[in-house]
Amino acid sequence: MQSGVVQMMEESKDHLVGGRTNQTRAFPRRLLQLLMLFLLLCFTFSVASIYMIKYFGFHSIVPTVKPSLQPCIEEEWKNIELWINPPSNLLHTMNDKELVWRASMAPKIKKYPFKRDPKIAFMFLTKGPLPLAPIWERFFKRHQGFYSIYIHSLPSFEADFPASSVFYKRQIPSQVTEWGKMSMCDAERRLLANALLDISNEWFVLLSESCIPIYNFNVIYKYISQSKHSFVGAFDDPGPFGRGRYDENMLPEVNISQWRKGSQWFEISRKLALYIVEDTKFYPKFAEFCRPACYVDEHYFPTMLTIQASNLLANRSITWVDWSRGGAHPATFGISDITEEFMKRMLGERSCMYNDRNTSVCYLFARKFSPSALEPLFLLAPKYLGF
């Protein structure tokens, strides 16, 4: 009986071993079938992908990005006109820091790769209207392309020049200014910075609403364009209204021997205009330590430019004024003052230096004229002013 049981156990054992062997052989076969199916799918996908790329390419997937960027890039770079044309609208949204940063950019290569007619930028620092505009309209007539105009007025003032006027839409974003304070120099820097945005502006003249030209456009353009110097009044006044306004806190940037005084009304080259708008060295000192009775508009630019480029300064103004009546301000002329005798006196021969030689033509502009002076000036201009 025991031998029968042993025999049955042996048969059962052989059966189990045989079953496991069959299962082991079946499992690799199924695994191999799955692997082959996976490879077949991969191959099919690869062939399909190559087909899609060959016949459709990646551009069929990406083109939605390209239109949003490419036109902007092409429009900005494809034509140099976009870099050399003046701004079409002077009423931009830049603040002063953004404006002077943008205006301070200058090409390092001096030779321009395009035809450039250098212009004079006439910058009017006013409170509001330009009552002598008809005189200027006649002065500018037939000289388009050789001048540009910028007006800094009170922010609340809305000009009503007709579309035919040379002053139409020539106002820049402005701020309130106070005589004798840094806000006055800020306004002048603002005018310069806006004018520098036009790469054709080569010379910059600061004027007020009470100024007139006392020669025709051709004479003034030739005088300014052929000068080796910029016309900035800058002299050393040892008295109480000169060195007497100096503050030792200006050191070390400015010592008293460098302190200068001069007229607010100037004419400067593009190079000096860049010096003014990019200045961060002298501006803080004058803003803090030149306050009334130190009148910063009489000292900041003359002193800074003397330190940085004294060899480029004529050390005189080309704007005539009359101090003969005395007082803190020059004389203002009205309708009763404008006679032929007055015109002869204003234009009388003088002596000054021009390009290191003596000349009798020392002034190109004059002030101060009230609105009532317009009519007699307009009548006498053809005979005495040449326009």
- Interstrand relation of 212-213 and 365-366 (parallel, antiparallel or unpaired): antiparallel
Please tell me which residue, 284 or 6, carries the higher pLDDT value. 284
- How high is the mean pLDDT of the chain? 87
Can you point out the beta strands (E) in the chain? 119-125, 147-152, 201-208, 212-213, 267-269, 319-320, 352-354, 357-359, 365-366
pTM for this entry: 0.80
pLDDT range class, residue 123, cuts 50, 70, 90: very high
The 8 Å CB, 24+ separation contacts for 26-29 are none
Q: What is the pLDDT of residue 52?
A: 58
pLDDT in tens, 324-353: 888 878 999 999 999 999 999 999 989 999
Query: For the residues 308-332, what does the mean pLDDT come to?
Result: 93
Maximum Cα–Cα distance for the chain, whole Å? 160
Q: What is the pLDDT of residue 48?
A: 64
Q: What is the pLDDT of residue 87?
A: 82
Residue 146: closest CA among 239, 41, 59, 217:
217
pLDDT in tens, 147-202: 999 999 999 999 999 999 999 999 999 999 998 999 999 999 999 999 999 999 99
Q: What is the pLDDT of residue 8?
A: 44
CA angle 46, 50, 53 (to 5 degrees): 135
What residue segments make up the domains of the chain, in order of their start? 84-106+116-317, 318-386
Question: Does the pLDDT at position 224 exceed 50?
Answer: yes
Percent of the chain with pLDDT over 70: 82
Please tell me which residue, 4 or 238, carries the higher pLDDT value. 238
| Three-class secondary structure assignment of 212-270 | EECCCHHHHHHHHHCCCCEECCCECCCCCCCHHHCCHHHCCCCCHHHCCECCCCCEEEH
Query: What tokens does 355 get?
Result: 């390009």
Query: For the residues 46-68, what does the mean pLDDT come to?
Result: 51
Q: What is the pLDDT of residue 57?
A: 52
pLDDT in tens, 65-74: 444 444 444 4
pLDDT in tens, 80-111: 777 788 887 899 999 999 999 999 999 999 89
- SS3 state at 119: strand
Question: Does the pLDDT at position 49 exceed 90?
Answer: no
Alpha helices in 278-329 (DSSP H): 283-289, 300-309
| Four-way CATH pick for 84-106+116-317: 3.40.50, 3.80.10, 3.90.550, 2.40.160 | 3.90.550
Q: What is the pLDDT of residue 335?
A: 98
Percent of the chain with pLDDT over 90: 73
CA angle 189, 191, 194 (to 5 degrees): 105
Q: What is the pLDDT of residue 253?
A: 98
Please tell me which residue, 237 or 80, carries the higher pLDDT value. 237
Query: What tokens does 120 get?
Result: 């004079």
pLDDT range class, residue 62, cuts 50, 70, 90: very low
Query: For the residues 26-42, what does the mean pLDDT come to?
Result: 68
Question: Does the pLDDT at position 18 exceed 60?
Answer: no
DSSP-assigned letters across all residues of 76-105: HHS-THHHHSPPS-S-----HHHHHHHHT-
Find residue 369's DSSP bridge partners.
333
